[in-house]
Homo-oligomer: A and B are copies of this chain.
Amino acid sequence: MSLLVVGTVAFDAIETPFGKTDKIVGGAASYISLAASYFTKDIQLVSVIGDDFPDSFLNTLKLQGIKLDGLQIKKGEKSFFWSGKYHNDLNNRDTIDTQLNVLANFDPIVPESSKNCEFLMLGNLVPAVQQSVISQLSSRPKLIVLDTMNFWMDIAMDELKKTIARIDVLTINDSEARQLSGEYSLVKAAQKILEMGPKVIVIKKGEHGALLFNKEEVFFAPALPLEEVFDPTGAGDSFAGGFIGYLAKTKDISFENMKRAIIFGSAMASFTVERFGTEKLIGLTQDQINERVQQFVDLVQFEIS
Q: Chain A: residues with CB nearer than 8 A to chain B?
A: 88-89, 184-188, 205, 208-209, 211, 218-222, 225-229, 256, 259-260, 263, 293-294, 297, 299-305
CA separation between A229 and B299, bound complex, in Å? 26
Contact A297 B304 (CB under 8 A): yes
**Smallest beta-carbon distance A245→chain B, Å:** 15
CB-based contact B263/A302 at 8 Å: yes
Whether A219 contacts B299 by the Cβ 8 Å rule is: yes
**Which of B219, B225, B302 has a CB less than 8 Å from the CB of A186?**
B225
Pick the contact of A227: B187, B229, B299 (CB < 8 A): B187
Contact status of A88 and B184, CB under 8 A, knowing A260-B302, A302-B219: yes
Tell me the bound Cα distance from A300 to B217 in angstroms.
12
A266 to chain B, nearest CB (A): 11
Q: Are A299 and B89 in contact (CB-based, < 8 A)? A: no
A285 to B259, CA, bound (A): 31
Contact assessment for B303 and A300 in the assembled complex, using a CB-CB cutoff below 8 Å? no
Residues of B within 8 A of A225 (CB): 186-187, 211, 218, 220
Closest chain B residue to A185, Cβ basis: B227
Can you list 20 A-B contacts with CB-CB less than 8 angstroms, sorted by A residue number? Answer: A88-B184, A185-B228, A186-B225, A187-B227, A188-B227, A209-B222, A211-B225, A219-B299, A219-B300, A219-B301, A219-B302, A220-B222, A220-B225, A221-B300, A221-B302, A222-B222, A256-B302, A260-B303, A260-B304, A293-B304
Q: List the B side residues contacting A256 at CB < 8 Å.
A: 302
Question: In the complex, what residues of B have CB within 8 A of residue A188's CB?
Answer: 227
Which of B185, B219, B299 sits near A220, CB closer than 8 Å?
Answer: B299
Beta-carbon contact of A229 and B300 below 8 Å: no
- Contact yes or no, A208 B211, CB < 8 A: no
State the CA gap A229–B256 with chains docked (Å). 28
Chain B nearest CB, measured from A227 CB (Å) = 5
A271 to chain B, nearest CB (A): 16
Q: Which 6 pairs of residues, A with B, have the shortest CB-CB distance? A: A208-B208, A259-B302, A300-B300, A220-B222, A187-B227, A220-B299
Least distance between A299 CB and chain B CB atoms (Å): 5
Residues in B with CB closer than 8 Å to A208 are: 205, 208-209
Known contacts A219-B302, A302-B219, A304-B260; is-contact A226 B297 (Cβ 8 Å): no
Q: Within 8 Å CB of A228, what residues of B?
A: 185
Given contacts A219-B299, A220-B225, A299-B219, contact A89 B184 (CB under 8 A): yes
